[in-house]
Amino acid sequence: MNTSILHSTEPNNAPLSVIDDAFFNHLRATEYSRIDEGNHTYLDYTGGNLYAKSQVLKHQDLLLNHVFGNPHSTNPTSKLATNLVEEARAKVLEFFNAKDYYCVFTANASAALKILGESFPFNEKSTFLLFSDNHNSVNGIREFCHSRKAKSKYIPVHYQNLEIDEEELVASIGEANPAENNLLAFPAQSNVSGVKHNQKWIAYAQEKGFDVLLDAAAYVPTTQLNLSLVKPNFVSASFYKIFGYPTGLGCLLIRKDSFAKLQKPWFAGGTVSFVSVVNEIYYLENNHERFEDGTINYLDIPAIKMGLDYIESIGLERISKRVKALIETLYNELIKLKHDNGTPIVKMFGPENFDHRGGNIIMNFFDINGKIYSGNEFENLTNANMISIRSGCFCNPGIDEINYCITHDEVGKYFTNKKDEDYKAFIAHLKQIRGAIRVSVGIATTTKDLEKYINLVNSLKNKAK
Ligand SMILES: Cc1ncc(COP(=O)(O)O)c(C=O)c1O
């Protein structure tokens, strides 16, 4: 890497400034100093947020100064654990303004989605609609749907701006039988393009006989989800994406009036109020406990409250504004970058307007002859410069298929008669590069991070592969 490029005085390298720099630079220095101490440029907040030092110290202090036992017993160590778990649960519901919901603690958003998939009462007359722009952990629900002989259908996003095809959505909702158990699933924010899909579709679909799953995993780290205003039946999220620590915890929020509709396919310790062995009868608990199989993560769950308190001490609105300003600045700087022959170095995907976009964007890079850099080639460059970004499809194949115009028939033809195949073999068959580079910003991002990334991209200027 030519380091002189990183200190170039070209116009693109003028110091950037973004709203609230003083506050967030101070936060970076106090709570996230390890980033600079390790010479990191972290731009993968959609992959996982970073935790503040104070969160860890607070949790460590709790663990080192108390004795915790397995919850749900009357003994003192158990009671303490139960109290803190319930405090965390109440905090989650308060954070999302979700008094009409149960909060089921899960291992992550995927585990929450699996509970919903296996419990939703699909039948042969049901319709499962889902946006093409969904994480694989939502896409996977279609397998539960098919195993119950229900049909699934994807609503495409537009190639030009990666926003949903509204006409197709309305038509598909209209085709379903409103009397059946229908489900619509979409992400509040795309984990790939950053597009925040319009939440008006929640009430619209509900009025037409659908339950709605809102996958909020990529949305809630930087945007307020107020469940007293929008009322999806089910919501999934992972806590490490909101405040970095601990990993291994997420939640499924279930609207109380949708709770009885879910059919849990088995029972486990902690989920039942009665089980008999002499006569195979069992009764499930009538609240969140029904879906929390076995011993919950009672040592880490109290750290959820600490994480949410920390986010609130800064203000989600403040984080939201900052992230929007950061990502917009990054986008605007990157699209300026051109080779001397006038061709762009970067191609950005998604809408140009950031009013309905979050803190992640995707892009591809081209040499002076218009040849695309593969994800690996670009990642080698960023890795060598201690920049953490992400390349590939981000577990969201729908967006990638749209960006590369891959058709139903193309996939079908290739995979017919193939039992075990993978993404790499398919790419080799297509003889074209797939995937993109994702950059995401968050609470600890500073303009220095943006500058480092922009300068690295600019180092591709006039280069031939
Ligand atoms: C939108 C979205 N949904 C679901 C998931 C799955 O989250 P997890 O891997 O924490 O289960 C992710 C993870 O990146 C995501 O971005």
Note the pLDDT tens digit of each residue in 253-269.
999 999 999 999 999 99
Tally of domains within the chain: 2
Helices (H) and strands (E) in the chain, counts: 18, 15
Residue 205 maps to a domain:
yes
- Residue 411 vs residue 4, higher pLDDT: 411
Question: Distance between CA atoms of 66 and 463, rounded to whole angstroms?
Answer: 59
Query: Tens digits of per-residue pLDDT, 8-45?
Result: 435 455 799 999 999 999 999 999 999 999 999 999 99
Which of 274, 293, 312 corresponds to the end of one domain? 312
- Residue 464 above 50 pLDDT? yes
Which of 312, 328, 350 corresponds to the end of one domain? 312
The mean pLDDT of 395-420, rounded to a whole number, is 72
* Displacement of CA 219 from its chain's centroid (Å): 7
Annotated catalytic sites, by residue? 395
The pairing of strands 127-131 and 151-155 is parallel
CA of 88 to the centre of ligand 1 (A): 21
Structural domain for 23, as ranges: 3-52+315-393+435-458
% of the chain residues with pLDDT over 90: 85
Same domain, 150 and 175: yes
Q: Yes or no: say if 105 and 323 are a contact pair by the CB < 8 Å rule.
A: no
Atom of ligand 1 nearest to the CA of 191: 16
Same domain, 298 and 381: no
Whether the bond between 246 and the residue before it is cis, its omega within 30 degrees of 0, is yes
Atom of ligand 1 nearest to the CA of 238: 10
- Residue 419 above 80 pLDDT? no
At 235, give phi and psi (nearest 5°): -135, 135
CA distances from 77 to 72, 73, 151, 444 (A): 10, 9, 49, 36
Same domain, 341 and 255: no
User: Atom 12 (ligand 1): residue with closest C-alpha?
Assistant: 217
Same domain, 225 and 303: yes
Same domain, 206 and 193: yes
Tokens of 191: 């984990």
Identify the CA nearest to 272 among candidates 290, 288, 252: 290
3-class SS of residue 366: strand
User: The whole model's pTM is what?
Assistant: 0.94
103 lines ligand 1 (CB under 6 A): no
Which CATH number is 35's domain given?
Answer: 3.90.1150.10
Question: Distance between CA atoms of 292 and 301, rounded to whole angstroms?
Answer: 13
Same domain, 330 and 378: yes
Tokens of 422: 């993978």
Same domain, 273 and 323: no
Which of 312, 343, 371 corresponds to the end of one domain? 312
41 lines ligand 1 (CB under 6 A): no
Sign of the CA dihedral with 207 first, then 213, 218, and 220 last: positive
191 lines ligand 1 (CB under 6 A): yes
Same domain, 94 and 183: yes
Query: Tens digits of per-residue pLDDT, 164-209?
Result: 999 999 999 999 999 999 999 999 999 999 999 999 999 999 999 9
139 lines ligand 1 (CB under 6 A): no
At 76, the amino acid letter reads: P
Identify the CA nearest to 230 among candidates 272, 202, 265: 202
Query: Tens digits of per-residue pLDDT, 132-154?
Result: 999 999 999 999 999 999 999 99
Identify the CA nearest to 465 among candidates 360, 381, 342, 359: 381
